[in-house]
A and B are shown apart, each in its own frame.
Chain A
């Protein structure tokens, strides 16, 4: 079930809110778990058993890891739970890819696997791995209540599109959390802002991307327009989902960490990854990069560590070579930044921002392809490869058609709107009106979103390959 749907907004959510707030404290987790399982089963009825199996495995082995007397026994239990958990991800997400490539190399074209990817598997697998590893490291006690652990994994706000919430960040709130008008109001604000980002901006930018895929009138200009719109679409879609998750979490009394912090204002690609999909970046940092030695190693090892982390980061986004290339693209630039580029970039903010935005856009062209060949074609198209013209009638039209929206999206991707609001709030004369305007604007966003959804406008789910 998508958050951006009539079914979720006006059927599922009101019922869930009534059930949750009507339930006594002792039953709130049970309510959350049951509605979360219903939420998941709504879209993936068969795959729910895989998730339940993963929860049961990690519940049992979490306790075994904690109770094990020796370091070696702890390691064995951890290994079993990690291998067991990852095997589901490997089979459902990557087996088809490996078989397809094996078939291509060996010429055994009859070999193929057609396995449906359970939605959200990459998110909940990484969440539960963080739980088992943290129990092993002694950073958190094993959860003895399976309802509590299952609630953590299945919690519907972040189940299908993140952020990847660490168990240790919400362990206390899973047991005891408070609810208030203030946190509920904050949650509503974040949810509606996220909903607006997704439905009004990302989905409409997505229509331009669809027009680009369908066009017979390609040009360098159209490639660049697509590149900018696709990059903005991914940002508004993904950060919109994170806002909705954080907002819903807040309504239910959870504090999820921020997942996006204006990534396009970064002055280096390293900074970009500290602002983009923060929960994934910090997961790989804490569970892969640091255990390998991180940056405090010799240069060849550092290069190797970065290569491994970014190969895995790219591959996490989808079982296709273009995602691997996307990860390796960042591995090259982050290595260069660590070794040579940091100081030169610090000398000029303007050059640093241009450099960062340019390569972010290039990277998303790689990301946008359905395979490596398409990724190369799209990057090449930006520079006129294939002898395409500089401009075309359709590109000029689409620039006029989406120019206002792109301008809105660019401003919306910076801290400017937030700063303007904070400024109005800080002044005595405008503070009251800022508060009233905020409520009215939020209501208007919700009505606008409803209008777009009732119209059946383009409403893709972009994370079906994650």
Chain B
């Protein structure tokens, strides 16, 4: 090919490509939310003199152009393929795949974050629970079972748990790590599967002196579940299926909840509206609720449980119902610990703090 012809072709190809993408950038309508990444997308920034002078406008505009880029999800998938297949990367966006799972590379122990969580837990103990039987358990992230066997670096979970247990000396630690395997977690999400953790509920209850019965009907949600890692990973992902357990005790339970605005609302153990939403896992206890009270009118004995928890606790809480007349589920990410007295009755209750390593290692949200 002579040089001039090749040059004309080169210039034409790239001029057409550049201009076409530019026109698409300008012409395509903006979207507000990314379902795959579960986040709000940047919008065209407001133009103010202060923002222009400070350079804030340009930063916001650059976020806007990236977030609103045409066919962004497709380009993100291309990037994932390139990172793995061309550049030979084993992980992408801090996530790795193993045994069909997507899991997070989480290697560093963040001790200041653990200190923050411990400070909040100890505050609750010293303020409301002195002298009570208080239990503490840690849910390891799924890379606990996936990383090392598949050649990925893992956090030193033994050290993490030992450190955390030492930071809350008034609580009795219940180890559940040995009961967990990869099949107990969703493939595309960080959480555990309710149908696979009845043994964990039994062990926790056993240590608190309660025997549970697990006689459930297994139900399957009829919507595909793309977990939190599916969008972050941005590769070809097969969706999970959510299963949830029911029986008469669960069906007859009376549920009320204080939401994150402090309003008392009627609720349900399984929120089927949330099940159809952007994050179907939120079907368990309706997701982000500050305080949820579950009453069991069929209970054989009057015994109460207060469960301090993160999102992992939402799916295990109903499994305690056969042993308790009332379960109060508290998420201190949505309620300040200082206000708990007005919402929670601790008198005579078993108290369990059940938190995941991922939250304890990044605990600023705990209030």
Contacts and interface: CB of A to CB of B under 8 A. Distances in A.
Interface of A: 1, 5-7, 9-11, 13-14, 17, 42-46, 180-182, 184-186, 188-189, 192, 200, 204, 214-217, 393-394, 397, 400-405, 408, 431-432, 435-436, 439, 442-443, 446-448, 450-457
Given A216-B109, A443-B17, A446-B14, A457 B7 contact: no
Given A200-B87, A215-B108, A403-B88, A184 B53 contact: no
B82 A451 contact: yes
B9 interface: yes
Contacts of A214: 108
Contacts of A215: 107-108
Interface stretch (B60-68, B179-187, B306-314, B318-326): B60-68
22 contacts: A6-B25, A6-B62, A10-B22, A10-B69, A17-B18, A44-B55, A45-B54, A181-B7, A181-B8, A182-B4, A188-B11, A192-B14, A204-B83, A214-B108, A397-B90, A397-B153, A404-B89, A436-B1, A439-B10, A450-B75, A451-B75, A452-B79
Contacts of B65: 5-7, 10-11
Interface string B12-50: 011101110110010000000000000000000000000
A193 to B, nearest CB: 13
Contact of B6 (A11, A45, A404, A435): A435
Given A11-B25, A14-B22, A217-B153, A184 B7 contact: yes
Given A7-B62, A404-B87, A455 B11 contact: no
B162 to A, nearest CB: 15
Contacts of B58: 1, 42-43
B55 A43 contact: yes
A46 B62 contact: no
Contact of B69 (A17, A42, A446, A454): A454
B230 to A, nearest CB: 15
Classify chain B: how many residues form its interface, as a range. 35 or more
A200 B88 CA distance: 12
Given A6-B65, A42-B58, A451-B79, A204 B13 contact: no
A405 B4 contact: no
A432 B1 contact: yes
A10 B54 CA distance: 24
Nearest to A400: B90
A44 B55 CA distance: 7
Contacts of B55: 43-45
B6 A204 contact: no
Contacts of A6: 25, 62, 65-66, 69
Contact of A451 (B8, B78, B89): B78
A349 B15 CA distance: 45
Nearest to A191: B14
Given A1-B62, A397-B90, A452-B82, 14 more contacts: A10-B65, A10-B69, A46-B53, A182-B7, A185-B6, A189-B10, A401-B89, A401-B90, A401-B91, A404-B89, A405-B87, A446-B17, A451-B78, A455-B93
A439 B78 contact: no
Contact of A405 (B22, B52, B89): B89
B169 interface: no
Interface in B176-211: none
A182 B17 CA distance: 18
A43 B8 CA distance: 34
A216 B160 CA distance: 13
A1 B62 CA distance: 9
Nearest to A207: B89
Contacts of A189: 10
B301 interface: no
A90 to B, nearest CB: 24
A400 B151 contact: yes
A295 B301 CA distance: 96
Contact of A394 (B4, B21, B66, B107): B107
B87 A45 contact: no
Interface string B69-106: 10010011011101100111111010000000000000
Contacts of A397: 90, 151-153
Contacts of A457: 79, 93
B89 A204 contact: yes
Contacts of B351: none
B146 to A, nearest CB: 13
B53 A9 contact: no
A454 B76 contact: yes
Given A200-B87, A397-B153, A400-B90, A447 B62 contact: no
Contacts of B69: 6, 10, 450, 453-454
Nearest to A394: B153
Interface string B248-268: 000000000000000000000
A14 B19 contact: yes
Contact of A188 (B14, B22, B72, B108): B14
B256 to A, nearest CB: 41
A337 B287 CA distance: 69
A216 B155 CA distance: 10
Contacts of A13: 18
A402 B52 CA distance: 40
Contacts of B152: 397
Contacts of B25: 6, 10-11
Contacts of B10: 185, 188-189, 439, 442
Greatest chain A CB density within 10 A among B14, B80, B91 is at B14
B361 to A, nearest CB: 12
B215 to A, nearest CB: 44
B56 to A, nearest CB: 10
A328 B148 CA distance: 44
B78 to A, nearest CB: 4
Contacts of B93: 455, 457
B3 interface: yes
A84 B1 CA distance: 54
B75 A455 contact: yes
A44 B65 CA distance: 19
A155 B153 CA distance: 46
B234 interface: yes
A186 B10 CA distance: 9
B13 A439 contact: yes
B62 to A, nearest CB: 5
Given A189-B10, A435-B1, A216 B107 contact: yes
Contacts of B17: 443, 446
A453 B54 CA distance: 24
Nearest to B88: A404
B153 A393 contact: yes
A181 B9 CA distance: 9
Contacts of B108: 214-216
B7 A185 contact: yes
B301 to A, nearest CB: 47
Greatest chain B CB density within 10 A among A6, A11, A408 is at A6
B75 A443 contact: no
Contact of A182 (B3, B75, B87, B234): B3
